[in-house]
């Protein structure tokens, strides 16, 4: 396992190191084992072999929710540390092999993780009322724990428009989910590698195309 502390999440370096890797945001798709896995693999291969997708990637994710997260994440982390007494170590990316990794919002103490969400007013209010975390987020945290070999993850939803301004719940690694995730991940990685090998043999990988300069005019 390699922990990249020097890389800033959202940077060009972070984008590059994530290429061709299944990450925690893919967990629900991987666990479902349906057509979504093949769609995801095609998207990953397209991003890997394309010569310049970072700008498109940046534009794609400049939506209101992402911007809210960027704006509030540092404050949310500070509130979390103040309220819990836990120390958070920021991390750029954690990778375990060529096709697997994750980007938690922080490493907590010796065996924990932090996952910060910044829901809008309606979603935050619903979370307070129901105290129910979306399955997508639960799957995401399970994969983060699986990749990082950590025992628990604190889910921390933050919205400064409310008092109290946060909702926190500790999620522990679930053996059943992680066994299923390990099996589904292995299947997905085998499919990804198989299709990557085909593309490599067809010379799409890293070889200048005839007329490449003309394409970039």
pLDDT tens-digit profile, the chain (217 residues) = 899 988 888 888 898 899 999 999 999 999 999 899 999 999 999 888 876 655 555 555 555 555 556 678 999 999 999 999 999 999 999 999 999 999 999 999 999 999 999 999 999 999 999 999 999 999 999 999 999 999 999 999 999 999 999 999 999 999 999 999 999 999 999 999 999 999 888 755 555 555 444 455 4
Q: What are the backbone angles phi and psi of residue 105, rounded to the nearest 5°?
A: -80, -5
CATH classification code of 2-215: 3.90.320.10
Beta carbons within 8 Å of 141's beta carbon, 6+ residues apart: 24, 113, 115, 153, 155, 171
Question: What local confidence, expressed as pLDDT, does residue 47 receive?
Answer: 86
Q: What is the C-alpha separation between 64 and 89, in angstroms, rounded?
A: 26
Q: What are the backbone angles phi and psi of residue 93, rounded to the nearest 5°?
A: -160, 145
Q: What is the C-alpha separation between 184 and 192, in angstroms, rounded?
A: 12
Question: What local confidence, expressed as pLDDT, does residue 68 receive?
Answer: 59
Going from N- to C-terminal start, the domains of the chain cover 2-215
């Amino acid at each position: 396992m390699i922990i990249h502390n020097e890389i800033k999440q959202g940077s060009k370096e972070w984008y590059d190191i994530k290429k061709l890797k299944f990450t925690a945001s893919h967990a629900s798709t991987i666990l479902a084992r349906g057509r979504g896995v093949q769609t995801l693999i095609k998207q990953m291969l397209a991003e890997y072999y394309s010569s310049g997708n970072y700008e498109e990637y940046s534009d794609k994710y400049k939506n209101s929710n992402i911007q809210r997260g960027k704006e509030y994440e540092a404050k949310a982390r500070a509130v979390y540390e103040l309220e819990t007494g836990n120390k958070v170590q920021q991390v750029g990316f954690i990778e375990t092999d060529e096709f697997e990794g994750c980007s938690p919002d922080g490493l907590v103490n010796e065996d924990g993780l932090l996952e910060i969400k910044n829901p809008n007013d309606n979603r935050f209010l619903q979370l307070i009322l129901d105290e129910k975390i979306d399955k997508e987020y639960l799957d995401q945290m399970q994969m983060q724990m699986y990749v990082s070999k950590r025992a628990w993850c604190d889910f921390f939803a933050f919205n400064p428009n409310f008092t109290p301004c946060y909702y926190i719940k500790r999620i522990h690694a679930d053996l059943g989910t992680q066994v299923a995730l390990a099996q589904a991940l292995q299947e997905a990685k085998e499919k990804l590698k198989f299709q990557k090998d085909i593309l490599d043999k067809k010379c799409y990988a890293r070889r200048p195309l005839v007329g490449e300069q003309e394409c970039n005019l």
